[in-house]
Structure 1
Amino acid sequence: MHTHAEDVIQWRRHLHRNPELSHLENNTTDFLVRILTEHGLNPQRLPSTGATVDIGPAHAPLVAFRGDIDALPLTEATGLDYSSEIPGVMHACGHDIHATIVLGLMCALADYVHREGEAALPVRVRGIFQPAEEVMDGGAIDVVAAGALHEVQQIFAVHCEPKLRVGQIGVRTGAITSASDVVEIILRGPGGHTSRPHLTADLVHAAGQVVTQLPALLTRRVDPRSGTVMAFGAINGGATFNAIPQEVRIRGTFRTAQVGVWRQGEDFLRELVGQIVAPTGAELEIRYTKGVPPVINDDVCTALMAQAVKDVDPVALKEAPQSSGGEDFSWYLEHVPGSMARLGSWSGTGAKPDLHQPDIVFDERCLTVGIRLFAGVIDQYRAEI
């Protein structure tokens, strides 16, 4: 890493300057494939965008590392000299860093195998460069369908954490993220004059009942230890102060850290919203879009990550909090055990930024930390042998 740290930084900056939206990561894929090929590897393109690449003894256990590659529809406001050159598109979630860490890992392993021979690796390693993490029809499902988990026994990932100082790694057994579903509630009625609400269905009143009562009722129907959160982000309806509208739309998210609650969430919501709206006389339509399940970290895989951190710096190991955010790494864990860690990316000075913001800046020193973490996980298998 001392020898190639500048190369790694330049790879990341190239990706940052040239972000691409979900399912459109063609140039990103071309770049990753080119660098991997230049290091003597044989990457395989996925059916749309993204790629996988393997290295190591053919009959050894197969361990995978995932890096997501898509960006967000944001206009960058960091002022960095390597800011996005694509209008309205930005890497504001650290996917350029995640992808570069897996890229750096695979290139480092290629150099290592070139010197020491393939048998020197204790496991076979697969790098997965996954498209479309940021959208509801996420790329993880397509990657799994394409066979990227074939023979994989365990899988690992990191996510940039701007609340942790660079050099620190946050791990957690069990749920580290939440399921995230989108809920749209549509209320309809004949409309009317605000002086005579008793002669119509007052949709604004009905919407108020939904947004206040639904989250409260969920706390009495769902185990409070499940980390279940119902919150609304948009209410649209009406055009003037003295007319009751004919339609009001409410949009929000349903999030939970328990898979069982997630699987029942739609039924809960349909039942409760129906009960809330019934007395108002409004017609009701609910459009429920399933998102991703929670990321449930396997205890053994998390222990491997934790030990890899402690082998380098015991003080760097932190306990990560459970987040209400969603992450489609969870789809891999429906098939094989694995673990995602939080990668400290705050410089240690100034305010701690938040993800998905146009002015977020990640400390690039986290790149080498992430690569060493993944290499340390591979070393744990050597220790087991």
Structure 2
Amino acid sequence: MSELIRHIQRKAEALEERILAIRRHLHAHPELSYREFETAEYIRSQLDELNIPYREEQTGTIARIQGEKKEDGKVTSRNLALRADIDALPVLEANDIPFKSTREGVMHACGHDAHSAVLLGAASILQSLRHEFSGTLNLIFQPAEEKSPGGAKNMIAAGALESMNSILGEHVNPGLPAGKVGFRSGLMMASADEIYMTVHGKGGHAAAPHSVIDPVLISSHIIVALQQIVSRMANPDTPSVLSFGKVDAPGAMNVIPSSVRIEGTFRTVNEEWRERALGEIRSIAQSLASSMGGSCDLEIIRGYPVLENDPSLTRRSMELAKEYLGEENVVELPLVMWAEDFAYYNREIPGCFYNLGIGNGQKGWTSPLHSPNMMVDESALVTGAGLMAYLALGELNLP
């Protein structure tokens, strides 16, 4: 193990109390997407304590650490961005912990409190090691990852990636034990589009079906028919998911309603197929409703694109992670159908999005993300902060 790794690990361990305090404060005071006013204020107060300059972009923050290492009397221009998201979810927390959410119905159930704490911990380490790297670090504290169109696009428009050569970001993973991290080169996460349909018919008495145009029946046919898009139109080599999670038919036992509201999501890992499939969804739904005497209003909200990690950057990051944590603690991740607006950053510059294990099977802390019981093994946060600092130094000091 190199002296630099030991030095960073000692610094990370010394920061444990601070990192945990940050995470617990944020966890107790969660805020929803685009409303992270107190969260942003708190993060900026932490940056002030570290003497790290920043600029405000609504509830987003872009901080900057300038390296001081000189080669041939000059500071080189290798630049790197690090990103954490800061918003919470509309979830009622079920955990009984001292720092349980104080805002009913709002919870950091996706671990963004941990992401922010890890990045602030890494920032503290890197600020103290400015003499070890040249170039510039941008620290992006991004709002609204959980709600389309996502905060990443706004941060990019605000110049968060200006002059940056690459970007790193991490996401907690309860399925990985604390102390382990996971990487995946190339395709990592799916695109995600939101589907909203209102099927119109003619309501009336359930005992006189001949006098109505039943939107419940039409909706049932539409939902079943749309499944052929994945089962019969998609290439079997292209993962795709079409799921409907909400059907609202405001009738009664003996009342057929006039309309039915359906909400769902379509996800895939191929942008060309994505375009075709969305067109098929619209065509099938509207033509089928019309053939049964009704109509269908359909709105598709374009969500995040496919997340694809840069192979070279991911390979370098994996090797650095093995140096820092040991080869046995670095795993390769499977392709998943989740979505992340980190994908927008990866479309602009080479990016690597990796997973930080936070699970603890012995304590039963394995509930999935977005769950009211999601828990974080906080020992992982110290690991995450030190690792992120080491990955950043490795990338900034490339020849």
* Alpha-carbon distance change, 40 to 238 in structure 1, aligned in 2, over 3 angstroms: closer
- Asked if 1 retains the 8 angstrom alpha-carbon contact of 2:133 and 2:397, the reply is no
Q: Which of 46, 55, 59 is residue 49 of structure 1 equivalent to?
A: 59
* 1:72 equivalenced with 2:89 (yes/no): yes
Report 1:1-385 matches (<5 A).
1-46=12-57, 48-57=58-67, 59-113=76-130, 117=131, 120-312=132-324, 313-349=326-362, 350=364, 352-381=366-395, 384-385=398-399
AA matched with 1:42:
P
Deviation of 1:144 after TM superposition, in Å, equals 0.9
User: 2: CA distance between counterparts of 1:109 and 1:293?
Assistant: 31
AA matched with 1:352:
T
- Asked if 1 retains the 8 angstrom alpha-carbon contact of 2:168 and 2:352, the reply is yes
- Asked if 1 retains the 8 angstrom alpha-carbon contact of 2:365 and 2:375, the reply is no
> Secondary structure of 1:234's partner?
strand
* Percent of matched pairs sharing the same residue: 31
* Alpha-carbon distance change, 382 to 214 in structure 1, aligned in 2, over 3 angstroms: closer
> Secondary structure of 2:237's partner?
helix
> Secondary structure of 2:199's partner?
strand
User: 1: CA distance between counterparts of 2:185 and 2:158?
Assistant: 28
Deviation of 1:355 after TM superposition, in Å, equals 0.8
AA matched with 1:235:
V
Unaligned runs of 5+ in 2: 1-11, 68-74
* Alpha-carbon distance change, 43 to 278 in structure 1, aligned in 2, over 3 angstroms: same
The alignment's TM-score, normalised by the length of structure 2, stands at 0.90
Cα deviations by residue, 1:175-195 (Å, 9 ceiling, x for unpaired): 222111111111112234444
The root-mean-square deviation of aligned C-alpha atoms, in Å, is: 1.8
Deviation of 1:242 after TM superposition, in Å, equals 3.4
Aligned to 2:5: none
- Asked if 2 retains the 8 angstrom alpha-carbon contact of 1:305 and 1:373, the reply is no
User: 1: CA distance between counterparts of 2:341 and 2:316?
Assistant: 21
Cα deviations by residue, 1:128-159 (Å, 9 ceiling, x for unpaired): 00011111131111111111111111111111
> Secondary structure of 2:358's partner?
strand
Deviation of 1:4 after TM superposition, in Å, equals 1.6
Deviation of 1:332 after TM superposition, in Å, equals 1.0
> Secondary structure of 1:292's partner?
coil
User: 1: CA distance between counterparts of 2:202 and 2:395?
Assistant: 67
Q: Which consecutive aligned stretches of 4+ in structure 1 deviate over 6 angstroms post-superposition?
A: none
Report how many aligned residue pairs link the two structures. Answer: 379
AA matched with 1:111:
S
> Secondary structure of 1:179's partner?
coil
User: 2: CA distance between counterparts of 1:220 and 1:123?
Assistant: 51
Unaligned runs of 5+ in 1: none
* Alpha-carbon distance change, 229 to 274 in structure 1, aligned in 2, over 3 angstroms: same
User: 2: CA distance between counterparts of 1:70 and 1:381?
Assistant: 28
